Structure 1
Amino acid sequence: MTVATEKPNIETAESQSPVSVAVKKEMTLALACGIFLIAGFSLSFVHELNPLVSVGCYIGAFITGGFYTSKQAIQDIIKGHFEIDFLMIVAALGAAALGEWAEGALLLFLFSLGHALEHYALAKAKKSIEALAGLAPKTALLRKGNLLQEVSIDALQIGDVVVVKPNSKIAADGIVIVGHSSVNQAPITGESMPVDKSPMPLEEVTKKGSEKIAAQHSVFAGSINGSGNIEVYVTRVAADSTISRLVKLVNEAQTQKSPTQHFTDRIEKYYVPAVLLLVTLLLFAFLVIDEPFSASFYRAMAVLVGASPCALAISTPSAVLSGVARAAWGGVLVKGGKPLEDLGSLTAIAFDKTGTLTEGKPTLTGIYAFSNYTESALLEIIVAVEQLSDHPLAAAIVRDGKEKLKKEIAPATSLQAIGGRGVQAMYNNKPVWIGNKELFTDKGQHIPEDIISKAVSLESGGNTTMLVQLDNVFIGIIALMDVARPEAKATIAQLRRIGIRKMIMLTGDNQQVAEAIAKEIGLTDAWGNLLPEQKLAAIEKLKAAEQKIAMVGDGVNDAPAMAKSTVGIAMGAAGSDVALDTADVALMADKLTNLPFAIGLSRKARQIIKQNVAISLGMVVLLIPLTILGIAKIGPAVVGHEGSTLVVVFNALRLLVYKQKNIGE
């Protein structure tokens, strides 16, 4: 799927962001350090000048290049930590003490410039997340009677009605009660096409309360209205809107460490003390080998620079941050580094059926006429009767029947519901019965074998069947089924192509229906007649066999199974508190096609994390022996050290431009 999103118009300029101001100051001081360094180095060749002039320039480089480094080092020392910034300051001052002012200044210039560029690059990733918060407008047009009043979105209360003009942003989560329009929900759900919205009567809205409202009536703050003028009944205050919760959860996700990050943290825990011990021993190398203390001290400072684990420390967090940000812009909420990595290692996926693989509502799938009746004549009789019933199957029959007939049908009369069996009514002064086989056997009627055979055949394909009788003559059969989503078959095929070898349906529906749907869309297995606790046992069984398994559901009935799986994935989580709270990964739009995108992004993130760890550890393994042997001086060590740090950061930023076409990589 190609995700098309409108670039948000952030009202807070970058220059006004505290983070951006700090990055700009850091960059300015780093560049000033470079200017002082070049000036000092150039003036050192002018023999007519006092050497102190050149030293003065180097001191200027130390002050500007060491400002932020010293500030961070002092903060770390106050907390009882001796981190990388402290090591760099010690190395620079050590070089100055030996009279190597140029090398000390070069160290601070490259270190400060590297940090400034690193912070700038990470700020770019964070801005992708912060931009989400700027999607919602600051004000809304509140309707009060016949008057419109512009108010802050923070002043909106549940039950208020806001007017949304054409081509403007929607101010609050709510339900359309007036007007028709197409709404661009890409900023929230990642859907590439605008979604048509239609009104729901206000009295029905207030009656339904907190019940889930159909997608064609619901809108989200931050989405963009199309050409129609609509009025929206507010269902959430600004702080609880879908976009606000999405921003909060994405920010929380940044702090949750991935398995690789836990691994690198364990390495650093023992690695840093080991480096400090090595540097201390090297300080006293002059006692063992024939060299002055100054040479031993210089070598120790070079090793200190080359062995510092800057790149290792940033390698995984930078990739996780970029991956989570890219997922959010694609309509997928990934709650941290662990699910981001786990998604890419899946070998099996279990799916709930109703509402996940299927439409979640019955659809009229077949009309079979007997006794010289035409299909349209049979359908007219059925619609005439069923539009008097309030049964969910009746609603589906009437909806789909009218769509096929393309006309309104006069209702039948004298409807009587027969519990668990069907209905009876009068049509053109003749009695009509519509129901299951038991309706007719209960009244002692014989059902012809050919009709029984047809009904059984349809039911074996997963359909629910109803027989139709007019004036004691069987005139037809109708079939209904919760049909597969249009995109389900293509999505399952795509998942198979990218290496998901086992895809299983877990459903409370009967086995016959489960197998029919599974066969249609290409699943490997279908397990029916499962209660929620049996779904949980099924996940445990699958996890034992496959190690890494995801459970895809709606986040409500499937919550226990989702929690037990390696990765719990909620469908259609936009606007659903339970789904957002339960899942490790939430597909904001009610679209299966976002699942291959999420898995593909995870695989790319895992690939980049491995590359980053290899680059950072590889550079350390290279620099330590080179600096110990004296082959690499402080300058080259700084270049290698800072270069590897920038490589891993910019490598991670590639995730921000990930496209689904890379899914097979």
Structure 2
Amino acid sequence: MIGFIHQNQKSITFFAGFLLIMAPAVAIMGYSGLRPFILIAATFIAGLPIAIKAFQTLRMKVFGIETLVTIAVLGALLIGEYTESAVVAFLFLFGDYLEVRTLEKTRSSLKSLADMAPQEATILRGGSRVTVPVEEVAAGDRVMIRTGGKVPVDGRIVTGQALLNEAAITGESIPASKKAGDRVFGGTVIDTGYIEIIAEKVGDDTTFAKIIELVEEAQESKTKTEKFLNKFAGIYTPGIAGLSVLVYALTRDFHLAITFLVIACPGALIIGAPVSSVAGIGNGAKNGVLVKGGEAMERFAEVDTLVFDKTGTLTKGKPEVTDIKVFRSYQKEDLLRLAAQAETASEHHLGRAIVQEAKSRGLAPKQGPKDIDVIKGSGLTAAVEGRRLTIGNRKLMHANKIAIPPEAETYAAEREKAGNTVIFAAVDGKLAGFFSIADPIREEAAAALAQMRRNGINSIIMLTGDNRYTAERVATRLGLDAFHAELLPEDKAAFVKRLKQQGHVVAMAGDGVNDAPAIAAADIGVAMGEGGTDISMETADVVLMNDKLMQFSHAYSLSKATIRNIKQNTFFAVGTVAALLLGVLMGSVHLASGMFIHEASVLLVILNAMRLIGFDRKRMRREKEGKLVCVQE
């Protein structure tokens, strides 16, 4: 019975509404004797789902809103107010239907993601191409995707080139150009081209699967306001029942007591916060911003201080080698080859730049390093071709007692003042040279930070493991309030904790393993998803799937708009109930009219929450149109 009612709630609601319309129609047609029976039937059909829910909540020792409505409907039947009983039951059921439909609509972004999940994959096995269910693809398989095909797993392109629609992952509508060596995500679609990839993450480990899981979990998470309202409803509902008994005891007016009971139902109050929260999270998911729940949304809206990592967050995270300086008898190509082999073990952007430079010069590493020791925030040591390489910053050189000659220090300082990061390389305990690497600032960084200041951010600070000169250059160009350079991961986390102790509400944005401790320490952790590592995505409260700081700005504005929307709904719901109760006691509001106003307030709260689905749509459309013009030009 319960399953049948749940599956057919729409039909039940509209059939009860049809009977409600038929009742006055048959009276007008001269069959007024049928009117009470039709109204009783409408009451029974609309009231049964409500009564079943009331029974279920009472079994869990919860006195819910459905219990109030059931008592009110039964009371109206007892006193012969069949019109009121039918109207009350129908309006409450219709309001519940609207709430369910609205929640479904706000979750449409998740459904559209799930619908895009590929079902099959074409892979190379035993020297021939075979099509298999996507669940059977294993890491290491070679997967082929043609124009119009969906990428079934995460991986890297080994051959081919294509334009990919990555809207399901990043929220970006402009197709991205991908070539050999680039990373692709499951759930994205090839607009034009052909690629072959090596599967790296399959099944539930793909970025696409994690996005769906994160959004599902987020939309089930509650804000502090929602949790408070749920507790409040548990006290408020039996309290209203007691007050209605008191009203009857004082007035001996059963009709007035029943009216008081129905009108006081806090329907709009209970649904206002969750509908707003789900709508806000849905908007974020649709635009490539994953906010992990209502509580994270609420905390994000309170943030007054932003802390950024530099590399890959404020900068593009795709640095290039601008100079190679060698000492002693080393040749540039020899040092580059050795360093690239060692850096294949690193996930850091600077290490990738060295590997990429070697590949561009035809010195691609042919074998990996051995005996690797990665020192977070400093560099690494590894055995390569029978030699011990130490590659990293000055701290790593000093920690390993590797001397930096004065002329090398002077040259390195000059490169750093010019905006480069210097990576020192030592072979067998002696300095062999260093690499100058530059990482350009993101084009949208200045505009995004300015927008966040306008929206209420008081202070923006940069923390980096890079040298002071490079950090100062980035901070000056972006107009940051402060910067701190040459920090280890634990230094970043400690700095964030100090800010919190000083009373600031802190958001920390980063993308690497070395940022994870600071992201975890912040009130709100923000991870750059596309280029970020799994650990930073899992640790963060907010994930920006397109690596765009404008997404960060959108997420911050969205959080404020969502919490503002929740407060509007709460204020309106409380105000409506208070006004209606006063009207009931004064005799100016009756059962049917009061219930109509009550359900209208529920509808208004829902419509207000639905505005969040299209939040900031015009600005984002302008940005996308601007990008499209640039692409076309």
Calculate the TM-score normalised by the size of structure 1: 0.77
Structure 2 residue aligned with 1:486, among 443, 459, 463? 443
Structure 1 residue aligned with 2:53, among 59, 62, 72? 72
1:472 match = none
Task: Compute the displacement of 1:490 (Å).
Answer: 2.8
Partner SS for 1:508: coil
Q: Which amino acid aligns with 1:269?
A: G
Structure 2 residue aligned with 1:142, among 116, 123, 130? 123
- The answer to whether structure 1 residue 220 and structure 2 residue 220 are counterparts is no
Q: Provide, for residues 599-644 of structure 1, a one-character-per-residue CA deviation record: whole Å limited to 9, x for no partner.
A: 1111211121111111111111111111122211101111121111
Mapping for residues 116-127 of structure 1, pairs under 5 Å: 116-127=97-108
Task: Compute the displacement of 1:94 (Å).
Answer: 1.1
Structure 1 residue aligned with 2:23, among 34, 40, 46? 40
Shift in CA distance, 177/365, structure 1 to aligned 2, threshold 3 Å: closer
Q: CA–CA distance in 1 between the matches of 2:24 and 2:388? A: 98
1:272 match = 237
- The answer to whether structure 1 residue 263 and structure 2 residue 228 are counterparts is yes
Task: Compute the displacement of 1:466 (Å).
Answer: 11
1:374 match = none
Answer whether contact 2:62 2:234 (CA < 8 A) is retained.
no
Mapping for residues 199-214 of structure 1, pairs under 5 Å: 199-200=180-181
- The answer to whether structure 1 residue 155 and structure 2 residue 163 are counterparts is no
2:487 match = 530
Q: Provide, for residues 352-411 of structure 1, a one-character-per-residue CA deviation record: whole Å limited to 9, x for no partner.
A: 12222223454356899xxxxxxxxxxxxx9878766645789958978999xxx999xx
Mapping for residues 291-310 of structure 1, pairs under 5 Å: 293=252, 296-310=253-267
Q: Which amino acid aligns with 1:148?
A: R
Mapping for residues 248-647 of structure 1, pairs under 5 Å: 248-286=213-251, 293=252, 296-360=253-317, 362-364=319-321, 390=339, 441=407, 458-464=415-421, 480-554=437-511, 556-572=513-529, 576-647=533-604
Shift in CA distance, 361/172, structure 1 to aligned 2, threshold 3 Å: closer
Q: Which amino acid aligns with 1:505?
A: M
2:205 match = 240
Which range is displaced more, 179-188 or 526-535?
526-535
Paired-residue identity, %: 35
Task: Compute the displacement of 1:66 (Å).
Answer: 1.5
Answer whether contact 2:507 2:523 (CA < 8 A) is retained.
yes
Shift in CA distance, 547/439, structure 1 to aligned 2, threshold 3 Å: closer
1:107 match = 88
Task: Compute the displacement of 1:82 (Å).
Answer: 2.5
Shift in CA distance, 527/568, structure 1 to aligned 2, threshold 3 Å: same
Q: CA–CA distance in 1 between the matches of 2:265 and 2:297? A: 28
Structure 2 residue aligned with 1:57, among 33, 38, 42? 38
Partner SS for 2:462: strand
Partner SS for 1:177: strand
Partner SS for 2:124: strand
Q: Provide, for residues 106-138 of structure 1, a one-character-per-residue CA deviation record: whole Å limited to 9, x for no partner.
A: 111222222222221221122322222221121
Shift in CA distance, 418/464, structure 1 to aligned 2, threshold 3 Å: farther
Answer whether contact 1:23 1:120 (CA < 8 A) is retained.
no
Partner SS for 1:180: strand
Answer whether contact 1:88 1:108 (CA < 8 A) is retained.
yes
Shift in CA distance, 224/365, structure 1 to aligned 2, threshold 3 Å: same
Partner SS for 1:558: helix
1:206 match = none
Shift in CA distance, 559/662, structure 1 to aligned 2, threshold 3 Å: same
1:192 match = 173
Supply the RMSD in Å over aligned alpha carbons: 3.6
Partner SS for 1:327: helix
Shift in CA distance, 22/237, structure 1 to aligned 2, threshold 3 Å: farther
Shift in CA distance, 366/193, structure 1 to aligned 2, threshold 3 Å: farther
Shift in CA distance, 110/357, structure 1 to aligned 2, threshold 3 Å: same
Calculate the TM-score normalised by the size of structure 2: 0.81
Shift in CA distance, 396/635, structure 1 to aligned 2, threshold 3 Å: closer
Shift in CA distance, 147/80, structure 1 to aligned 2, threshold 3 Å: same
Partner SS for 1:27: helix
Q: Which amino acid aligns with 1:632?
A: V
Answer whether contact 1:141 1:163 (CA < 8 A) is retained.
yes
Task: Compute the displacement of 1:93 (Å).
Answer: 1.8
Shift in CA distance, 397/137, structure 1 to aligned 2, threshold 3 Å: closer
Partner SS for 1:483: coil
Q: Which amino acid aligns with 2:243?
A: L
Q: Provide, for residues 502-556 of structure 1, a one-character-per-residue CA deviation record: whole Å limited to 9, x for no partner.
A: 1101122233332222112221110123222222221122223453110001252
Task: Compute the displacement of 1:303 (Å).
Answer: 1.0
1:205 match = none
Shift in CA distance, 519/185, structure 1 to aligned 2, threshold 3 Å: same
Which range is displaced more, 344-353 or 119-128?
119-128
Shift in CA distance, 419/569, structure 1 to aligned 2, threshold 3 Å: closer
Q: Which amino acid aligns with 1:264?
A: L
Q: CA–CA distance in 1 between the matches of 2:464 and 2:319? A: 16
Q: CA–CA distance in 1 between the matches of 2:145 and 2:128? A: 14
Q: CA–CA distance in 1 between the matches of 2:205 and 2:355? A: 38
Q: Provide, for residues 123-180 of structure 1, a one-character-per-residue CA deviation record: whole Å limited to 9, x for no partner.
A: 1122322222221121112222343222211222222222211122111222222211
Q: Which amino acid aligns with 1:25?
A: N
Answer whether contact 1:319 1:655 (CA < 8 A) is retained.
yes
Q: CA–CA distance in 1 between the matches of 2:118 and 2:356? A: 38
Q: CA–CA distance in 2 between the matches of 1:175 and 1:485? A: 24
Q: CA–CA distance in 2 between the matches of 1:510 and 1:199? A: 33
Answer whether contact 2:419 2:469 (CA < 8 A) is retained.
yes
2:376 match = none
Gap runs ≥5 in structure 1:
1-17, 201-215, 287-292, 369-381, 410-416, 423-435, 468-476
**Residues matched between the structures, number:** 568
Answer whether contact 2:166 2:188 (CA < 8 A) is retained.
yes
Select the structure of larger CA radius of gyration: 1
Task: Compute the displacement of 1:487 (Å).
Answer: 3.0
Q: Which amino acid aligns with 1:233?
A: I
Which range is displaced more, 270-279 or 458-467?
458-467
Gap runs ≥5 in structure 2:
326-330, 344-349, 364-386, 393-401, 425-433, 621-633
Answer whether contact 2:511 2:532 (CA < 8 A) is retained.
no
